[in-house]
Structure 1
């Protein structure tokens, strides 16, 4: 009887232990999901703030462009009136003082080239327009974007010594950003339109170091790579490439793996760059 009681107690303890382990696993998974959700919300908030800034800038630039267009129109009207007052007559069938049609070209100048004199007002009007356009371009530069084109290239400007798990790698130095969809403050690429894209990232680890990185679309890892310099006497690097079909509004970024082991810093130097790049195919 005593043996049966001990056996029952042992079974109950085992059940409680298994239940406790299951609860721990469930809570651990839940906590990991909450952390990932919080990270996604932070990224989305940063993207929303950046978009608000872009919208305000576009509204301001649109108002400035309207003012510039109106100024150019006024200048063109003034130049036309000045031309007419100085004898520049444009007509398809002008008649002379005797009532006969001119035998020259349909559109002609009433003055000959030898008699043509351009007043200072023409030059002042032209210079005014030119200065206005240059002044606008210098004070409010407008990014010229390729129609339908999307491409960016950025790299890490410094070593990342305190590399941790589930960490977004922010490539802060932007060289190319056609379309302006890569954010150097958050390290994220905001997809402007549906299509097929190629992304590539290159990471360097120091001697003896190693880590795993992932490329993430929203919260889903679509590619990963392992960089290792274990047993090496110098730095090592690895490059990952993915071709993915993504949708407008998707966010793409590089992060370290949530669970895999890592050791040592992420390296980036003037002679070797840890970088992130991407472009749209079609």
Structure 2
């Protein structure tokens, strides 16, 4: 175990080859500041952290007669502050972690590693949209129509067409689609989700006979091939509330 007595400490990882298997530990005495820095292409993963005292040989000044002093928040706060970053600043202080053992000398002990950075969403591969109807739709119950959600919050991948209401899969894979419908009193909006014109699911939002507004949501997974088209079509409906209260969204898993 290493311990430091300088006012500020730099914890700098070496350019080791197998960064995913090399764990490193250090301690900052109470009041000290320092930071962890991983090499380019890697990020910090905190394995454990404790502010308190479990060893009389670390930062051996003041009252060190305890080996069971542990802050209940130090590990989760250190992970929140450092995990996923290449550099993270640390301050061993009561104001950050509380005082788990008053009148005793404390230190912050951290065990960490640098792991290869993995992009959750590789650049250029995000496929997701969230659309809504800007105005309320007044429809004929007996005439099924394709619903066009003409407003767009975001459209990563540009796969959704706000003019037709149709999503076109840019690549093979598993997709999730969800829609939320706000329906006025004594109105209905029962719809189906279509894949290349064929029903793959149905959602009921019949509010006839009710004096208040109703909100209904549905979610369906679909396995798509590149070029497949997905959209929402009414089955039995005469009204859909607009202004962002109703929406249609989808994303590739």
Q: What is the TM-score with the length of structure 1 in the denominator?
A: 0.44
Instruction: Say which structure is richer in helix.
Output: 1
Structure number with higher strand proportion: 2
Larger Rg: 1
